[in-house]
Amino acid sequence: MMGPVLRATLMKAVIVLLCFGMVAPIVIVAIASFSGDGYLKFPPESFSSQWYARFLGDQRWRDAILNSVVIGLMTSVFSTLLGFLAAYALVRAELPWRRALMSLLLTPVIVPHVVTAVAMYFLSARMGLVGVRPWIAVAHSVVAMPVVLIILQSALRTVDPALERAAMVFGCTRWGVFRRVVVPLALPGVVSAALFSFLTSFDELVISLFLAGVRAETLPVRIWNSLLLEVEPTIAAVSTLLILVTMLALGADALLRRMRGEGGALPGK
């Protein structure tokens, strides 16, 4: 028989180990990216920024960064704008088939990205849209929309409808109510939604793989293409950049929530 104390300690050890296992790969890649050795080795025997120099010195990688950022920003603005209107309607209106509608709006997460990507490619190839950055952003918006809707719906639910009525009585048009009351109150949620939709686009691989062509290669696509050849160390540097962007986004989101005095609520719950 194990004593309860021993059991609790064992349980704790398992949890610590699992948590460590979750972050270790990411941390190791980040450390290895500063390796001064000729090939990727952990722990590195010497440190240098050679892989970053190689990464940033390469015109194709620099183009990929630019493409990723541009597409990410466009996705962020587009999906947050559309999502805000839709989330407002979903929160405020009594719609028939609301649950079914919500399930439909969330399907892009469920449908395998390969299927979505192939189908979009089928359409884009026929319309000459392959390699067009705004179009890739529109495609990314489809897969970013579920996250955006979930975040914005929960943000808008915290806005008391009585405040909107008050604004209307005191002279606001519908648009005025939006501008003066709804948007300012939902602003942390809006920024959150913008951050996560940017991240979704920035990290997206499969759809970009089909739609990017050679003109609009994004960072994940570039990683993919070089990984197919070899596990080259430059990618550790690129990966670290992507991890850094993720951390920045999560940090900014946490900061926003703290400012609003909310707990660490996560999208997807």
Sites for another protein among residues 119-158 (CB under 8 A):
119-123, 138-139, 141-142, 145, 149
For another protein, the closer of residues 49 and 246 by Cβ is 246
For another protein, the closer of residues 49 and 226 by Cβ is 226
Would you give the distance in Å from CA 197 to the centre of its chain? Answer: 5
For another protein, the closer of residues 56 and 82 by Cβ is 82
For another protein, the closer of residues 49 and 175 by Cβ is 175
Residues between 154 and 213 that touch another protein (CB under 8 A): 160-174, 176, 180-181, 184-185, 196, 199, 202-206, 210
**What residues contact 109, with CB distance under 8 A and at least 6 apart?**
143, 146
**How many angstroms separate the first and last alpha carbons of the chain?**
38
Q: Give yes or no for residue 115 binding another protein (CB under 8 A).
A: yes
Q: Output the smallest distance, CB 49 to another protein, in A.
A: 18
- How far, in Å, CA of 191 to CA of 54, rounded? 34
For another protein, the closer of residues 20 and 47 by Cβ is 20
Taking residue 146's Cβ as centre, other Cβ atoms within 10 Å add up to 21
Q: Give yes or no for residue 51 binding another protein (CB under 8 A).
A: no
- How far, in Å, CA of 141 to CA of 78, rounded? 7
Residue range at the interface with another protein (CB under 8 A); choices 51-59, 69-77, 95-103: 95-103
- When binding is defined by CB under 8 A, the residue of 64, 71, 74, 90 that contacts another protein is 90
Q: Output the smallest distance, CB 236 to another protein, in A.
A: 7
Residues between 1 and 30 that touch another protein (CB under 8 A): 4, 11, 14-15, 18-20, 22-23, 25-26, 28-29
Taking residue 142's Cβ as centre, other Cβ atoms within 10 Å add up to 16
- How far, in Å, CA of 92 to CA of 177, rounded? 13
- C-alpha gyration radius of the chain: 22
For another protein, the closer of residues 2 and 59 by Cβ is 2
Residue 186 contacts residue 164 (beta carbons within 8 Å): no
Binding string, residues 242-261; x marks residues near another protein by CB under 8 A? xx--xx-xx-----------
CA angle (146, 150, 155) in 5-degree steps: 145
Q: Give yes or no for residue 41 binding another protein (CB under 8 A).
A: yes
- How far, in Å, CA of 3 to CA of 12, rounded? 14
